[in-house]
Amino acid sequence: MLALYSHSEVRTPRAVSFWGELVGPEAKMDVRELEEYDEAIQRVLSALPLEVRLAGIPPEQRVAGVPPEQRLAGLAPEQRLAGLAPEQALLALPDDMLRRLPEDFLATLSDATRSAIRRRLGQ
Q: How far apart are CA 64 and CA 106, in angstroms?
A: 35
Q: How far apart are CA 37 and CA 17, in angstroms?
A: 16
Read off the pLDDT of residues 4-26 as tens digits, 9 standing for 90 and up. Answer: 556 566 556 677 667 666 666 55
Decide if pLDDT at 111 tops 70.
yes
Percentage of the chain modeled with pLDDT above 90: 46
Q: How far apart are CA 27 and CA 110, in angstroms?
A: 62
Kindly list the domain boundaries of the chain, sorted by start residue.
Answer: 2-55, 75-121
Instruction: Give CA separation, 101 vs 78, 79, 88, 98, in Å.
Output: 20, 23, 15, 5
Query: For position 31, what pLDDT does the model report?
Result: 61
